[in-house]
Amino acid sequence: MSVFSKAFPRSGVLSLKRGLNPRLIIIFTLLTVLLTASVILLWERVLRPPYYHWVARNYPGAQNAEHRYKLEQRGEHFFISMAVDVIVVSMLLAIVGRKQERLVAANEQLAHSEKVATLGRVAAQVAHEVRNPLAGLLLYSEHLKSKLDGKTQNGEAQLVDKIIDTINNLTATTEQILNFARPVTLAPKRLDLNTVAQDVIQLLSTEIAAHDIETKLELDPSPVAGMLDEPSIRAATLNLVLNAVQAMSNGGRLTISTGTTGGTLWMEIKDTGAGMSPARVKEIFEPFNTTKSRGLGLGMPYAQKIIQQHGGQITVESQQEKGTQVRIELPTNGRNAQ
């Protein structure tokens, strides 16, 4: 992060729409004092002595005194105007650059949201078309099974069971796609992220034990509570923890930490699993982008959609062969919840 970004974070200290705030005025005053002092020192200590020396050498004697004086004055004016120009232009360029950065980020976010929405709509349409025929197939298969009951041999009835299992799996997949595509209406009420973390660990205890995973809960001793939509936050957290567990097929450590910083609730889910390359990390919020044979690639985009709908954010840091850390941040007051 550049010094400029630190002084003017994304919260938009420079945003004229929000008006000038005292912090901005103090920063600019200090900056101006500092720059003026530096320009004066640079002129007085570094540039002026050799320049005056050059003038005195080339225009010696009393007859050149006036000329010398003019040259010295012009040199000083020239230097000060140049210094001010350079400083002002650099600041303007920095401001324009920062605005452009924000514009590019906003465009990328827009393109991503449009892509997610389009993919979601298409997938939902297909899932919707498939759902009714699947329900019909299930009925026929169950009817067939009851007709065959006791009349078949050599495990033929098991074939019908396999058909029923396959139909049930397909139905579950279409339901998952429809759940992702459906707009979520948030119903915020008081929810403690500590409870969510504990419940999710409990829910996944069989998978955790099966993968030989050590779990560590580093929960804030005080409730990490805010106005949140319980079902969607639970589902999003479950997806994230499930990903962490699935990334540690050969065992590892799962750490869930929580806390409150200012008006923000946060939860970090850390695993010591396979990790991801930086290129892969960039793609994980794209729907249907999966590396798993039985995955749909909807867990991460769903979690992102829910967290963003709450006015929060989700960030992922990962290192191949070392592990992944997913951090979610949510506003305490649910002010942004829609």
Ligand X SMILES: Nc1ncnc2c1ncn2[C@@H]1O[C@H](COP(=O)(O)OP(=O)(O)OP(=O)(O)O)[C@@H](O)[C@H]1O
Span near Mg ion by CB under 5 A; candidates 153-161, 252-260, 267-275, 295-303: 295-303
Tell me the C-alpha distance between 108 and 56, whole Å. 60
Binding Mg ion (rule: CB under 5 A), the pick from 287, 299, 323, 334 is 299
The H or E element that residue 86 is part of is: helix 65-148
Q: Which is nearer to Mg ion, 243 or 318 (CB)?
A: 243
Q: Which is nearer to ligand X, 286 or 329 (CB)?
A: 286
Could you say whether residue 296 binds ligand X (CB under 6 A)? yes
User: Around Cβ 194, how many Cβ atoms within 10 Å?
Assistant: 21
Q: Which is nearer to Mg ion, 144 or 296 (CB)?
A: 296
The H or E element that residue 3 is part of is: helix 3-7
Tell me the C-alpha distance between 326 and 308, whole Å. 15
Could you say whether residue 298 binds ligand X (CB under 6 A)? yes
Q: Which CA distances in Å does 243 have to 75, 147, 162, 201, 289?
A: 67, 42, 28, 13, 13
The CB-of-244 to ligand X minimum distance in angstroms stands at 5
The CB-of-212 to Mg ion minimum distance in angstroms stands at 20
Could you say whether residue 243 binds Mg ion (CB under 5 A)? yes
Comparing C-alpha atoms, which of 179, 268, 285 is closest to residue 232?
A: 179
By a kind-dependent CB cut-off of 5 to 8 A, residue 232 interacts, out of ligand X, Mg ion, none, with: none
Could you say whether residue 244 binds ligand X (CB under 6 A)? yes
By a kind-dependent CB cut-off of 5 to 8 A, residue 296 interacts, out of Mg ion, ligand X, none, with: ligand X
Span near Mg ion by CB under 5 A; candidates 46-54, 89-97, 236-244, 250-258: 236-244
Could you say whether residue 276 binds ligand X (CB under 6 A)? yes
Could you say whether residue 292 binds ligand X (CB under 6 A)? yes
Could you say whether residue 116 binds ligand X (CB under 6 A)? no
Could you say whether residue 273 binds ligand X (CB under 6 A)? yes
Q: Which is nearer to ligand X, 275 or 334 (CB)?
A: 275
Span near ligand X by CB under 6 A; candidates 4-12, 116-124, 146-154, 289-297: 289-297
Residue with tokens 């999003």: 236
Span near Mg ion by CB under 5 A; candidates 27-35, 75-83, 94-102, 240-248: 240-248
Could you say whether residue 284 binds ligand X (CB under 6 A)? yes
Q: Which is nearer to ligand X, 71 or 244 (CB)?
A: 244
- Tokens at 110, concatenated: 């827009």
Q: What is the dihedral of CA 131, 135, 136, 137, to 10 degrees?
A: 100
Q: What number of chain residues touch ligand X (CB under 6 A)?
A: 22
The CB-of-276 to ligand X minimum distance in angstroms stands at 5
Could you say whether residue 324 binds ligand X (CB under 6 A)? yes
Could you say whether residue 264 binds ligand X (CB under 6 A)? no
Comparing C-alpha atoms, which of 127, 203, 129 is closest to residue 170?
A: 127
By a kind-dependent CB cut-off of 5 to 8 A, residue 292 interacts, out of ligand X, Mg ion, none, with: ligand X
* Distance, C-alpha 295 to centroid of its chain: 22
Angle at 226 between CA 313 and CA 238, to 5 degrees: 60
DSSP state of 291: -
Give the burial string for 173-185 (b: 16+ CB within 10 Å, else e).
bbebbeebbeebe
Could you say whether residue 300 binds ligand X (CB under 6 A)? yes
Binding ligand X (rule: CB under 6 A), the pick from 100, 295, 315, 333 is 295
Where on the chain is the footprint of Mg ion (CB under 5 A)? 243, 299
Where on the chain is the footprint of ligand X (CB under 6 A)? 239, 243-244, 247, 271, 273-276, 284, 289-292, 295-301, 324
